Structure 1
Amino acid sequence: MAADTSALPAPAPPRRRPPWILTYHSVGDPTDDPYGITVSADRLDEQLTRLRRRGLTGVGVSELLRARAAGRRGLVGLTFDDGYADFLDEALPVLLSHGCTATVFVLPGRPGGSNEWDPLGPRKPLLTEEGVLTLAASGIEIGSHGMVHRDLTALSDDDLRRETHGSREALGRLLGEPPAGFCYPYGTVDRRVVESVREAGYAYGCALVPGPLSGPFALPRTHISHADRGARLRAKEVRHRLRHRSGGPGDAG
């Protein structure tokens, strides 16, 4: 006699591997770069050339997530943290020459300011509000990086709300509509921070290595440096696939 399985819960669907999302910061002269966050425009061009030769197109995160939901493949996420002013003259022309777009995560509390949170320097100017609007008009997705670049996991509830809710409201006033994406400063995140981002109305959140957290509000990303050329870039993609292999071979972007 067959066992009655009618009362058993349906098996959970398999988890999908998160998409491959690359993390850039400043694009310019990498000579004085104590944090390893600056990529030259020539090196960015080289990296995108390699991706394009493999049939991959760089896009912003919102487009990447929509494409995955529709079953479209051949895309990789491109993100640029902190909103450095050099994106306009150095990164944007390279992206457009390759038919790519990106998401730039900006700090609405520091328009035209600098990266004062980096004690070792060098000081780099940030986008002005006019620069942010120029990027948006060029087809670049604008997301929030918080108000002023603080470790959100160390903040009080009120300060956390200002960084998540407040930054979305500020960008909404500037852009005419609130941003869909949030990027956690320093890549650090915990459940309380994720919940604040969700409650603020964002559609997704980007981290670096979110640890046990997963899902659209804890998207992992791959840090890209000036040293990443052919073999290193490919190795970072393989590491992403191995680290998030639970999704199966069809879910890699």
Structure 2
Amino acid sequence: MSADTATAHSAADTTTREPLTRPWILMYHSVADPTDDPYGITVARDRLDLQLRWLRRRGLIGVGVGTLLRAHAHGNAAKLVGLTFDDGYADFIDAALPVLRHHGCTATLFVLPGRIGGTNEWDPDGPRRPLIGEDGIRTAVAAGTEIASHGLAHTDLTRADDEELRRETWLSRRWLAELTGRAPEGFCYPYGTVDARVAGAVRDAGYTYACAIRPPTAVAGTYALARTHISQADRAVRLGVKRLRHRLGR
């Protein structure tokens, strides 16, 4: 067996033997005008307000994933929902954060330390959107936002060689630690793609959890947390259906 194969098997063993009754984690991206959005990842500020109001009326409160998992480990997460914002868009500060504060919620913001202050150049068809800068990250931290890594540059890590994978995991964690004063707990796989090798690299880099979208069944546990995509189309009925599907494990 090759060294790479052994590493992949070790990572798979580690992730699959960590059973986790799935906490509900919602996945957002940009909070802005959703008109020009071929990917369906932009939610208007007033729609985010409606969605968080829907949660609060049901006795649910949105928190960062680190907080959610700690509460879950102690059996205190029944009324908690994880809120995540991928890619680290600059609009998080002016559009999302005030709405979160209004509803008494916090969130996890997954940022790309290799693209701080840049744009979403990895999206070929969508509009260019500015990414959060260093001052914005500090503002988010001061407001109680959990800052976590999305890798360095939004690379599909399942296609990365071992050296690139190490940079994307280890280096992004170190840069965020230098910027915020605290090493991030969480990682989010760009494009939601993960396999055993990638999950093992994230674990070895020191993260305590990682978020995917629909992880393969061979990779499970805290290093492959599934999430529910939330879009502009999600009002009360759709949110109710998505909550039910989560409860049913679908």
Do Structure 1 and Structure 2 share a fold, with TM-score over 0.5?
yes
Corresponding residue to 1:33 among 31, 37, 41 = 37
Shift of 1:237: 1.5
What residue number does 2:13 align with? none
Q: Please give the per-residue CA displacement for 1:141-169, whole angstroms capped at 9, x wherever unaligned.
A: 00000001000000000000000111001
* Separation in 1, partners of 2:132, 2:19: 38
Mapped contact 2:20–2:221 kept (Cα < 8 A):
no
State yes or no: 1:240 paired with 2:227: no
Q: Which runs of 5+ in 2 are unaligned?
A: 1-16
2:51 alignment partner AA: Q
1:55 alignment partner AA: G
Q: Please give the per-residue CA displacement for 1:60-99, whole angstroms capped at 9, x wherever unaligned.
A: 0000001111211200000000000000000000000000
1:214 alignment partner AA: A
Shift of 1:243: 2.5
Q: Please give the per-residue CA displacement for 1:93-112, whole angstroms capped at 9, x wherever unaligned.
A: 00000000000000000111
State yes or no: 1:210 paired with 2:215: yes
Q: Which runs of 5+ in 1 are unaligned?
A: 1-12, 245-253
* Separation in 2, partners of 1:16, 1:123: 37
Moved beyond 6 Å, runs of 4+: none
Q: Matched residue of 2:153: which SS?
A: coil
State yes or no: 1:227 paired with 2:250: no
* Separation in 1, partners of 2:222, 2:233: 29
* Separation in 2, partners of 1:197, 1:95: 29
Shift of 1:17: 2.1
Shift of 1:14: 11
What residue number does 1:43 align with? 47
Q: Matched residue of 1:172: which SS?
A: helix
Say how many residue pairs are matched: 232
CA-atom RMSD, angstroms?
Answer: 1.3
What residue number does 1:181 align with? 186
State yes or no: 1:160 paired with 2:168: no
What residue number does 1:23 align with? 27
Identity %, equivalent residues: 64
Q: Matched residue of 1:228: which SS?
A: coil
TM-score (norm 2): 0.91
Q: Please give the per-residue CA displacement for 1:29-76, whole angstroms capped at 9, x wherever unaligned.
A: 011010000000100000000110000000000000011112112000
